[in-house]
Amino acid sequence: MTFRSRTAIAGTTLFAIALASAAAAIGAAPGDDDPFLWLEDIDGPRALKQVEAWNADTDKRIRSMPGFEADRARARAILDDEAQIAMPDQILGDRVVNLWRDAKNPRGLWRVSPLAAYGAGKPVWTTLIDVDALGKAEGKSWVWHGADCLAPAYERCLVSLSPSGTDADVVREWDMKTGAFVKGGFALPAAKSNVAWIDRDTLLVGTDFGAGSMTNSGYPRLLKQWRRGTPLSAATDVMAGKAEDVSLAPSAVMDGDVRRVFASRGVDFYTSILSIRLPDGRFAPTPVPPSADFRAVIGGRMIVFLNKPLDAFPAGALVSYAIADIAAGREAKPELVLAPTDSQSIEEAVATDHVLWVRLLDDVSGKLLALSRDAATGRWASRAIPLAANATLDIAAAADARDLAFVTVETMLQPPALMAVPAAGAPTTVQILPARFDANAFTVEQRFATSKDGTRVPYFLVRKKGATGPVPALIHAYGGFRAAQLPGYLTGQPYRAGPLGLFWAEDGNAYVLANIRGGSEYGPAWHEAALREKRQNSFDDLHAVAEDLVKAGISSKGRIAISGRSNGGVLVGAAMTQRPDLYGAVISGSPLHDMKRYSHLLAGASWVAEYGDPDVPEDWAFMKLYSPYQNVKQGMRYPPAFFYLSTRDDRVHPGHARKMAARLDAYGNRVYYHEYLEGGHSVGADHAEDAVRAAMLHAFLKTELMAPPK
């Protein structure tokens, strides 16, 4: 079992009217003074009035544009099309559960089918929870956040529901037999909770227990054991972290018939201390290095991914530890499972009862391996699974007892297919989506740019066949948190922007997905190369990709748009302030921009290991060189920017986008702004908002990069 812990308008705009007084007060770029600090008041009347004005201005400029409504309708049809893969969110013994969303069920149907029928491509669904109907009945805007069902019977589940899509959610116990929430069962109010089953009548709970129970990052600091039939206030202490930690979280996985319960104390975003619960209820420390990631349990062995070298084992390798040694108090020594080559990166390890499934990248192309261990020698045998070449793979779920993995396979031009992969024998197709567009009209190629320090940076380029001469280009990138950017079907590119990539390529333009440093495309070293004081490498990589497009005659300066969300907001913000000559438009989604204050806003404190601590002078010395908000200068002309975000985002504070938009506009730059009231960090609570956003971004790009010169 596996541990699973994106127009120029003549005259004066509403932006300028609303910000005129602030602009007059600014004068030169401020130092530590922040005239837009009031925009951090998420629900403050003044801030919301400003947001309403910005939204209205953007609606006026965008929604009446030719093609907007056609784009919105087409995007909605693509997103709501019932010809979608019913993904196996979980496999519960001999059943598959799935959350199904379509036009009639925008928040989803949580439903179940027999595994045999599902694997044969003919699922028989029974609805468990209609999320839309539940929200209507309870007067709540519920968004599904998943369910944790207790193995091996899978009769009781902890269902998580978020109000409006925030990271905080409520937890309620569900009875599979009765098809109803358990009256008087386990229930937690809305909070950023971490919960795991010990047994049917006992939970490990990390939640908001009151003053001092949460970390500075806003996640649980205390872990308690809660017995059925007792109030939450009576839960007994198990473990405590520190206020400066990120979080304390329990987890439980099945190792054959044995339940293994763990607790992970996240010291920072990349450092955690893992403990295992012993049969007597005590937690014992494991030998897993604090920098490593616990991935799975199989055959009494913990599978661990190394982010740093360990003894003779390189960073990026998988190793294992014998749980029996830990339980007996003996030294548990690491044993090599798999070491990648220089061009490879191990992305995922999923265990069934007898097989360890490993998904890796080889020059950003997906590969799947099935590994099994010889108990006598301790060696692991590996079998390469024959799947599509040059494709993006994802292990959707796995059936433990059957040693069966369900894997999605897709490329930018080939629609997703769901494959059933057995431990032995050939994979079979469960479902493949119909084509949404004529793939023969396009070409995809992988190219490499050379960054400032000589590093080869891969990127994927989509164009119409026979394209010649420079055309407008859209580059999407991320560059952080070990998150590889993988090429998926164009109807979902870029992340959280619906079919924008498809619309853009159909216009005759170039769509680019850049694999800049900061992700995991080439293992831990690729991430380390853009960490903290080395962040500029990721910006240089993006510049290099853009310049490579110019050098190759694919695009030209001033006609290249860049897109990024969340951490990608830091990227595009820094890029636009560093090279306003190179870029012609910027899309910034749910972004970080004010790196001076980020660690004081919502979950920002949890990312200090990635960026640095702005309150430490030595860290701010390198952060201030790129922090987007602080580097916007009066008198400099920046490319037009479109900001999209959610008021209810409780991970990345909406103040980042609000303040960046305000400062850019106050200095006379063209700004578009769309702040949605629901949806959390993922922005859209349903497909309706996702479709609007895709149409808006397409209209923005057409106006700024394809319209005749002004």
Residues serving a catalytic function are 566, 681
H or E segment to which residue 423 belongs:
none
Task: Determine the distance from the C-alpha atom of residue 316 to the mean position of all C-alpha atoms in its chain, rounded to a whole number.
Answer: 21
Q: What DSSP string runs through 277-290?
A: E-TTS-EEE----T
Give CA–CA dist 622/614, Å, rounded: 9
Q: Is 693 helix (H, G, I), strand (E, B) or coil?
A: helix
Three-state SS annotation for 14-45: HHHHHHHHHHHHHCCCCCCCCCCHHHHCCCCH
Residue 650 near residue 168, CB atoms below 8 Å: yes
Q: Are strands 442-450 and 417-422 parallel, antiparallel or unpaired?
A: unpaired
Are 326 and 284 in contact by the 8 Å Cβ rule? The answer is yes
The conformational region for residue 105 under phi > 0 = left, psi -120 to 50 = alpha, else beta, is beta
CA 658 to chain centre: 22
Tokens representing 635 are: 């008198």
Tell me whether strands 585-589 and 641-646 are parallel, antiparallel or unpaired. Answer: parallel
Neighbouring CB atoms inside 10 A of 252's CB total 21
Partners of 195 in the beta sheet?
A: 205
Say how many C-beta atoms besides its own lie within 10 A of residue 468's C-beta.
Answer: 8
Three-state DSSP class for 54?
helix
DSSP state of 29: P
- The number of residues making up the chain comes to 710
348 vs 368: CA distance, rounded Å: 10
| Bridge-based pairing state of the strands 142-149 and 156-163 | antiparallel
Q: Do 413 and 112 form a contact (C-beta atoms < 8 A)?
A: no
Q: What's the rounded Cα separation, in Å, for the pair 355 and 183?
A: 39
Distances from the Cα of 398 to the Cα of 94, 356, 373, angstroms: 11, 10, 18
Tell me how far apart the alpha carbons of residues 595 and 593 are, in angstroms, rounded to a whole number.
6
Q: What is the DSSP letter of 528?
A: H
The closest of 708, 702, 705 to 70, measured between CA atoms, is 702
Burial 563-573 (b: 16+ CB within 10 A, else e): bbbbbbbbbbb
Residue whose pair of structure tokens reads 């059936």 in the numeric block: 399
- Alpha-carbon distance 353 to 372, whole Å? 10
Pair of tokens at residue 367: 């590969």
Instruction: Give the separation between CA 367 and CA 359, rounded to whole angstroms.
Output: 6
**C-beta separation of 388 from 406 below 8 A:** no
Question: Which tokens sit at 67?
Answer: 């093609």
Residue 186 identity: F
CB of 226 within 8 A of CB of 203? yes
129 DSSP β-pair partners: 110
